[in-house]
Structure 1
Amino acid sequence: MKMFRIRKGDNVMVIAGKDADKDVPRKVLKILRKHDRILVEKVNLVKRHMRANPYAQQPGGIVEKEMPIHISNVMVVCPACHKPTRVGYRRIESEGKEKKVRFCKKCNEVME
């Protein structure tokens, strides 16, 4: 299984693609490890024509939904300095146990 430095629930900024001009941090909804893609809220919106499903009580019509983008097109936004940054790993000792944590490469703050 591939390991990425981005996790579900992180705030990310799109740095490449059609949504790159919007400098607004967005939340990661899902990570698709098999395809190196990531699902980010309100990014890469497409319109899909949905058929009505009377059993699930879903109406039909045109629905806008997010589609995945490549994981290399986003950067993690640091919660401390609020800037897009690279992520590093560091081992810290807490409560007698060694723990691996992520940290911001710009401001050196722990991101957990």
Structure 2
Amino acid sequence: MNRLKKGDEVIIITGRDKAKKGSISAVLSGDKVIVDGINLVKKHVKANPMTGEQGGIVSKEMPIAASNVALYNPETQKADKVGVRVEDGVKVRFFKSTGKAVDA
């Protein structure tokens, strides 16, 4: 079971976007995640008249390493480690600091 899932509220713990919060929009293979509004880059896009795409410079969210983000605990309002335990035959993620289950 992964410690991060799509829709989780995370906080960036290192890099140029340190201390920013966002929601995970995609989890990619190779331990990378895409977070809404984080790690934005400017991309030069070539126009494609066949599909009606306009060219120019667009902002795009790029993947960030999963080790550079941590799950945000709203109770403590800090980054928190995540553990996995089995409750009634089902794996459940929980915050290590409080022991409470992560609401998915």
* Fold shared by both chains (TM-score > 0.5): yes
Any stretches of 5+ residues in structure 2 without a counterpart? Answer: none
Q: TM-score, normalised by structure 2?
A: 0.87
Note the C-alpha offset of 1:83: 2.4
Cα distance in 2 for partners of 1:63, 1:55 equals 19
Which moves more between the two structures, 81-90 or 6-15?
81-90
Equivalent of 1:104, from 92, 95, 103? 95
Could you say which structure has the greater relative contact order, defined with CA pairs below 8 angstroms and 6 or more residues apart? 2
Q: TM-score, normalised by structure 1?
A: 0.82
Show the 5 A alignment for 1:1-112: 4-20=2-18, 23-33=19-29, 35-93=30-88, 98-112=89-103
Maintained 8 Å contact 1:14/1:74? yes
State the identity as a percent.
41
Note the C-alpha offset of 1:58: 1.8
